[in-house]
Amino acid sequence: MPITPSQILQVWQKGFVPMAAPGRVIIIGAGMAGLSAAHLLRQSGHKDFLLLEARADWGGRIQTWSEGQAEAGAEEVHGANTAWFGLLKQKGILLNSYEDEAENYYVCPSGLKTETQLNRRPDFRQSLDYWEALRTTPAQPPLSWAQWLKKQGFGQEVAAFFTTKIENAYGASLSQLNVPDVLRMGQAWSAGEENFLLEDRTYAALLEQFFNSLRPRIQFQKIVHKIDYQQAKIFVHTQDGQTLEADQVLVTVPVSQLQNDRIAFAPALPPSKKQALLHIRLGPVLKLILVFEQAFWPEEMGSLYLDDAIGEYYTSGLGPWPTLTGYVAGSRAAQLSAEGEAKGLAMALQALDQVWGEKKASRFYKAHYWADWSKEPFIEGGYSFPGPQTERHRKALREPLDGRIFFAGEATHTRGHAGTVHGALETAYWAVAEMLGIGLL
């Protein structure tokens, strides 16, 4: 039976009733999954734990550019039917359902068009209808999205817009995403269809608000390179020569760190986990946050779509300066990453100059932040995307190892919420339940 958000909320506040004592617990990774697991352990009355974080600060793929007050990592709150949404509402945190207010703009050969104008075109309307129905559409033939798009015969600009929407949503290239895999993940989604933005604070501020009391339990810049579970105790070895002893270990690092052998296991991981790691993939994602001295786009603009190196720019940031974030995933993110920050910035400003004319983007440019997640140490990618039998492989990855080593994080989510903040929180709930002898509820 699926766990409801209200059940998770209740445990978040009151904790589990433990059926077993986990002993000394080490949590590896202080992203959303690791921090949530630490909170749940403490709420359940377990105090003997610590977190090891390889980076200099917490958050993982939650990262706010402080100068621009804009999100370099996770940004949206996906759906109203999640424990994460419930926690935010309980705290009185203001959320904006931006989709109801914004008008999207598209750069077409015939000029700049609004979504309202393009809705009069049958091929454009058809592509949007399909996009909006992704989570309820019956299973389709095993085509990649690139093959499916070619089969539809959309015009070049509609195909480009649809490509950007799919690649940005799932963090992978169209050729890597198969239609049935995406639809299966969509049909498992239970969070709700509405997306929200934070109105009055950043994601970094949220972490402080929810987890500040955990800071004394975190050792930063502790790079784990080996987990030895050959004996009664587990020994966690760090690159600075320290060996830490534990009874249980919870691994919450991005799946890329396990795929790239950043952490060795002794004994080695079993074949089921090795197979899982071959099939769960993390695609390249890149954000370019642009701050300007004044806005030169329509006040009601939500996103701007164009067929370019960066296919989407959207209004963003809580700072005093007008801000656009360029977002790109998949093969185009890999190509832009190869170009590098300086050329990428020049390309972006040139593209925006062409859209708005009078070199407005270049003239009003003030500052930028380049967030290339594929090159971010200890992350090395965006978020996991659906592939053939991915749910089976996610389940295999999540399975405890030797009853003492547990796994959590967005890539271990088996019920449609991979790639999200709320999904990471949910996997922490499941892992802590198992650690406390309660099992997967």
Domains of the chain listed by start with CATH number: 5-61+202-281+384-435 (3.50.50.60), 98-193+284-382 (3.90.660.10)
pLDDT means per 10 residues, the chain with 441 residues, are: 86 95 96 98 97 98 96 97 97 84 89 91 82 68 84 83 91 92 90 93 97 98 98 98 98 97 97 96 96 96 95 95 97 96 98 97 98 97 94 96 97 96 98 90 48
pLDDT computed for residue 52 by the predictor: 98
Distance CA 154, CA 146 (A): 12
pLDDT for the residue 359: 97
Is 51 in contact with 219 (CB distance < 8 Å)?
A: yes
Question: What residue type is assigned to position 226 of the chain?
Answer: K
pLDDT score of 102: 86
**pLDDT, position 440:** 61
Predicted local confidence at residue 201, as pLDDT = 95
Q: Which residues contact 150 (CB under 8 A, 6 or more apart)?
A: none
Residue 127: the pLDDT is 80
The confidence score (pLDDT) of residue 139 equals 64
Q: How far apart are CA 45 and CA 296, in angstroms?
A: 54
CB neighbours (10 Å) of residue 216? 8
Looking at residue 131, its pLDDT comes to 72
What is the C-alpha to C-alpha distance for residues 315 and 45, in angstroms, rounded to an integer? Answer: 43
Question: What pLDDT, on the 0 to 100 scale, is given for residue 356?
Answer: 95
- How high is the pLDDT of residue 135? 60
Q: What is the pLDDT of residue 85?
A: 98
What pLDDT, on a 0 to 100 scale, did the predictor assign at position 78?
A: 96
- CA–CA distances in Å: residue 343 to residues 54, 309, 314, 367: 30, 11, 20, 15
Residue 313 neighbours by CB under 8 Å, 6+ apart: 290, 303, 304, 306, 324, 325, 326, 327, 352
Amino acid of residue 323: T
Question: Which helix (H) or strand (E) is 245 found in, with range?
Answer: strand 243-246
Which pLDDT does position 99 carry in this prediction?
63
